[in-house]
Structures are given as C-alpha cells and as structure tokens.
Structure 1
Amino acid sequence: MNFDLTDERQMLQDTLRRFLTDRYTTQVRNDILSIEAGQSVEIWTELAELGVVGALFTEDCGGFGGLGFDLAVVFEELGRAGVVEPFLDNAVLAGGLVAALGDETQRAQLDEVIQGRLQMALAHGEPTTRYDLSRVNTTAVEKEESIVLNGRKAVVVNAEAADVLVISAREAGAVDDEAGISLFLIPRDAQGLTVEGYALLAGGRAAEIVLEDVTIPASARLGVSGEAFAAIEDRIAAANVAICAETLGAMETATRLTQEYLMTRKQFGRPIGSFQALAHRMSDLLIEMEQARSAVINAAGHLESDRVIRERHVSAAKNLIGRAGRLVAEDSIQMHGGIAMTQEYELAHIAKRIVMAEHRFGDCDHHLERFIALSAA
C-alpha cells in the first residue's frame, strides 16, 4: 500500500502549515483563549478561504475531500499548531451528519459551512452517557405536525458560537437501544433551549444544554425517524481519526520543542541533550512517535471500510495514541522543567491538548475493551 500523499493533499498540507506557522503563534493563541468567544472569527474565515473546511467534505457536498486521509492531513497540521477553532465539531461531526442524513434543503446549508459563514455543533452526549453512543435520555414526541423535545445535553463543544445545533433525541425504544434515536436541526436561539457555556481546559468552549418543550417542525428531522445511530457512530469514528491525527501533530510539536530545549539548555558546559539518560528518554519518545504515526495511517486508511473493520482499527488507534500521547506530554514536561508549565511557553498548551484529547470519544481503557469485543465478534 502506498502511504505517500497525493499531490492535492501535499499541497493542502504545505499551504496549511505555512499559514499556521506565520499566523498562529503562541501569542495569537493566548490572545484567542483570553477572549470570551474562545475562537477567532478572522482566523476561521481565512482558513475557510484556504479550503480547509472544504477538505473535510466530499465533492457531492461541495467539498473536495472528506476521506480518512484528508481528515488526517488537516488535523495533523491543526494539532501541530495547537489550533483551538472548532473544525472537528462544526464540520466533521455536525456538518458530517447533515451531509449523511439531510435532504436537499438541509444539505444546502453546508455551502455556508464550507465558506465559513455558518457554524454548527453536535449535541449528543448527556450527563449520564459517558462514552455510550446509544444511551439517549432526551425525548422527541411528535404532536400533530410538530416535534417537542425535552432533555439535557452535556459538554457540547462550539454550542455558543453555533448558528444551528444538531441534537439527538429518542423517539422510540429503551434508553440504551440503538434503534429509536433521531437527529434534529434546531436554531441555537430556539424558544425553550438554554445554553450555559464555559471554557475548556485545552482551549475552546463548550456548554450544557437544557431543552424544555422545544417545539420544532417535523421537517427539522435529519433522515428517517429513529434510524440515526449508524450515522452517529460513523461520524464519531471519523472524529476519532481526526483527533488521533490532531494528537499526533501536537506530539510532533512537543518532541520538537523538547529536542530544541535539550540542545540549548546547558549544564557543566555542554547541552543537557548530550547526557545519556536524557538522550535515551528522547529516543523513546521518537519511537513512540513512529508507532503513533503508523496507527493514524492505519485508522485513516480503514475509515471507509465496513463497520466492524472500521471500528476495530479506530479503537486500536485511539488506544495507542492515548498511551503514547500521555508519555510524550509527561516526559516533555519533565525534561523541560518548570518552564514547560508557563502559559507563555508553547509546550504548556500543547501538553494540555494531548492529555485532554484522550478523553474525547472514549479513553484508552474504553477503546481497549471495545477493540477486544470487536475482535471477538
């Protein structure tokens, strides 16, 4: 199998890397994190104009990518620069579900998403859900030609900035059944919908959402009633590939900063990187990096496979990336010393991103158990 990037993907990678190197400095990111919105409209618009959002959608949705390796290329660069803008939640998750299930009118909104003029967010997780995608307590009851939603959603990333929310709710079945889950497109300012936002540790913002008799037309439903679970699982798989690639990019930055520091910081008249103990630890990190890259390539290459194969490779990658990422983050900080914990230094933000990424869409233990179960199926 040829793992070399196509000319188009190589061009996208080079363009994105040059832009982020010039525009997304540590100071710029810290300034973005200090504002209430938690993201830069200017940066978002410029990246959309570069075609970054379009690379996350297929051609039939107005994009020019959308496959596993397209996601891997984009998110590795976003992770390398520590970008906090919500590409994952806006395009891959919410936008991806509209692309998969939406009718012609609903899918027409994706043009606005790709151009950077419309933002979306997926509200699926709930306070008692943890990582179980099928556990949905929020209810949707059809009344005449309308649908009434009641329930709570937790840690909805990008909810405050979103113009439209993609919200899951149960129309039939028990609370943990895969069948019976539907998705709905709801304006963020809908009557009865409350959004309580807060900052995230690794950058960006999320919110708790409460739905109290939120009434929407039946035309707001995405796809067939009660049959959204397969699409949700598919998009979460794509999100896991994206977050693995993002973590890989962040790990590359962490190791680069550590190598530079070890060759700059001196003790006893020579760089501390020349000391055998630190050289061995640095070698271990580089080995972990190669394993992590192989895992991302493997997951990206199987994203379009059938469900069992796709999910098995995604869980294997998420487990490995979680373990390797934590090692890289912790060892990079230890080899730097106190400077690594200061907000003004790049590694402080990068290490937080690496550690917190493990807990989105399932941590190491969850994906190990899932991989074992899928292998036995």
Structure 2
Amino acid sequence: MDFSFNDEQQMLLDTTRRFIAERYGFEHRNQVRASAEGWSREVWTQLAELGLLAINIPEEEGGIGAGPVGTLLVGNAIGEGMLLEPFWSSAVVATHAIVRMASPDQRAAWLPALASGESIAVLAHDEASTRFEAMNVETRATPSGDGWALSGRKSAVYHAPAANLLLVSARVGDGLGVFAVAADAVGVGLAPCVTVDEQRAADIVFDKVALSADSRLGGEARDSLQAVLDYALAALCAEAFGAMDRILAATLSYSRSRVQFGAPIGSFQALQHRMAEMLMHLEQARSMSYLATSRCTDPDPAARHAALSAAKMLMGQAARYIGQQAVQLHGGMGMTDELDVSHYFKRLLAFELRCGTTDQHLENYRRQLRAA
C-alpha cells in the first residue's frame, strides 16, 4: 500500500508543523495552559487564517475539503504540539457532523463562522450510559408546541466551555436525533473542569431547553452519528500518533545525553531493548492510524466500525507502553511539569480513555468478528 502524500497534503503538514514550531513552543503552551480559558483565542484565529479550521468543509462551501488524509496530517502535527485549542472538537467532529447531517440552510449559517473561527461548536454526546454502548443515550427531546423540549445530561464534553454552539444527541421516541443548541440558552448549565490531559471540558445539564422546530439536524441520526464518531476516532488516533512520535524522539535524545557510570544511558543494552520495543509500538501505531484514516469513511458500517476498533485498541496499547517507558527512562524528571514528557504522557493517558477504552474496543472487535 502506498502511504506517500501528494504535494498539497505534504504542504498542509509542513505548514501546520511550521506554525507550531514558530508560535506554539512548550513555554508558550504553558502560558496558554495557565490562562483562565485554558486555550488561546489568538492561536485559534491564526489557525483559521491558515485555513486549518476549514479542512473538513467542502471546497464548494468555501473550505479546503482535505478529507480524512488532510485531517490525519494536521492531527499528527497538533499531537506533536499538544495544542490545547478545540481543533478536534470543533474543526473535526462538529464540522463533520454539520457537513454530514445538517440542511443546506443550516450549513450556510454555521460553516462560514466555523471556518473563520468566529464560532466554535462541539458535539455533546457522551453520557454515563454511553460508556460501553455509544448509542445508549438517555437525553431526550420531546415535541413541545412548534418545537422541542430537551432534557438530560452529557458528561465530560471536551471544549464545551469554549463553544457557542452545542450539537446534542438525544432520544426522540425510539430513534435518535441531533439538535443544535446555543450554549447560552435558558436551561443549559455547564460544570467546567480540567481534564487529565490539561484541556477544558464540562458536564452539561439540559433542563427543558426550548428549541425551535428547525434545530434538528436531519432526521433519524443513529447511522450518521455513528459515522461521525468513527471519523472522530480516526482523527483522535492521528493526534495520538503525533504525541507518541514526539515523546519517543525526546526519550532517544535524552538517552544520548544523560550520562551514568561514565557512559550515556542509551549505550546500555537493556535500555536499548526497551527503546527498540517503543519504536516497534510506534511503527505499529503509525500503521493503525493509517488504517483508521483509510477506513473511517467506509460505506459498510460493520467493516468500518471493526477497523476503527482494531486501530484504537492497538494504538491504546502502544500509547500506554510508549508513555510509561518514556517516563521511566527519564527517571524522576519524567513526572515533572518542567519537562514536556510528563505532558505527552498525560495526553496519551487521556487518549487511551477517550472514545472508548482499549478493553472496550477489544471487546467490540471480538463481537464484530463473531458477527461476521
């Protein structure tokens, strides 16, 4: 299989990497992390100016239309830089949901603002009941007058405090729907928190939120919502690979400079074996990330979901091994805030738990094999 990229794709990757290297160094990230919002509106505007917020918007609607491969490459660079801005939540997940599910009028109203960075949208889907089955949604939308009344709770919605538009999954009778809700609507309550990987999230309560009749994105949303979640998972895998690649590079560099017993620790055979294992996990993760990207738009839902579960499972194992070994090989320094390794470790720890854990995806893959 040919894994080479064309000139436009390579330019997209190089542009993102250059931006992160020049404007989002580790010290700058620390300043952003310590700010009240936990992310930078200035950086968000700069990402929009580079066109990166429009990579999942079709060209005919004013976007770049870079698709899964473009999202993979930008995700790799964002994972390397550990960006705290809501790129994955808004420019990937929510934007893809709107492109896939929204009406032409809704797309015309929302996509330009998302591309320019003026608007930030997030998909509010996860609940306590969806930890093991993605479609177990208890939030409910009921007809009310000419519109809807929305009630329920969503858990740990990444970047919800930054969003002005919430795309909320809800049960409608025996089916599922996705509804557009203004973040400041009456009846919407956010309980912000800081995640283990230093990003901002919130639990959200919807208390009989009144919605207009045209707030629903399309009709029955089960299949479309699952397709959006699979696309989102592939993008998350791309970010995780970028973090794994960078933490391994940092570990190799440290092993060459750290001297113990009169020799660099990288010359010790036992540690060489561990770093070789890390490299093997990294290369497997690279392949799995490419698999996720190549299959995330597969029209066969069962085959797509199985491939994404396989990728997330193996990448989760790789993230745990590479992250733990990197910290151990750095010794006590590996856990300090002053060293970027500890922050990459937390990013990888969160990755293994997000969008389904390693064990959950292993079980899902087993079910898919038995069903086949």
Given the two structures, how large is their TM-score scaled by the length of structure 2? 0.96
Shift of 1:167: 0.8
* Partner amino acid, structure 2, of 1:253: R
Could you tell which deviates more after superposition, 327-336 or 119-128?
119-128
The amino acid that maps onto 2:247 is A
Per-residue CA distance 1:281-327 (angstroms, 9 max, x = gap): 11111111111111111111112212122111111110000001100
Q: Do residues 235 (structure 1) and 250 (structure 2) align?
A: no
1:367 to 361, 364, 367: 361
Please state if 1:129 is matched with 2:123. no
The gaps in structure 1 that reach 5 residues or longer are: 174-179
Query: Is the Cα–Cα contact under 8 Å of residues 157 and 201 in structure 2 kept in the other structure?
Result: yes
Decide whether the 8 Å contact of 1:67 with 1:304 is kept in 2: no
Task: Report what 2:21 is aligned to.
Answer: 21
How far 1:60 sits from its partner (Å)? 4.0
For structure 2, which runs of at least 5 residues remain unmatched after alignment?
none
Q: Identity of paired residues, percent?
A: 38
Question: Deviation at 1:137?
Answer: 1.0
Which residue of 1 is the match for residue 216 of structure 2?
221
Which residue number corresponds to residue 70 of structure 2? 70
User: Is the contact made by 1:67 and 1:303 (CA closer than 8 Å) also made in structure 2?
Assistant: no
User: What is the root-mean-square deviation in Å for CA atoms of aligned residues?
Assistant: 1.2
Contact 1:9–1:73 (Cα < 8 Å) also in 2? yes
1:357 — aligned with what?
351
How many residues are treated as equivalent by the alignment? Answer: 369
Match of 1:323 in 2: 317
Q: What is aligned with 1:293?
A: 286
Pick aligned residue for 1:342 from 319, 332, 336: 336
Partner of 2:37: 37
**Cα distance in 2 between the residues matched to 1:197 and 1:143:** 29
| Alignment deviations for residues 202-252 of structure 1 (CA, whole Å, 9 cap, x no partner) | 02211111111110111111101xx11111111111111111111111011
Aligned to 1:177: none
- Structure 1 residue aligned with 2:142: 141
Q: Deviations over 1:350-369 (max 9, x none)?
A: 11001110111111111111
Counterpart of 2:159 in structure 1 is: 158
- Find the counterpart in structure 2 of residue 248 from structure 1: 241
SS in 1 for 2:208: strand
Q: CA–CA distance in 2 between the matches of 1:367 and 1:117?
A: 36
Query: Residue 55 of structure 1 aligns to which amino acid in structure 2?
Result: I
1:165 match: secondary structure: strand
Corresponding residue to 1:201 among 191, 196, 203: 196
Higher helix share: 2
Q: Which moved more, 1:182-191 or 1:88-97?
A: 88-97
- Find the residue that maps to 1:170 and give its secondary structure: strand
Runs of 4+ residues over 6 Å off in structure 1? none
1:66 shift after superposition: 4.5
Offset, 1:31: 1.1
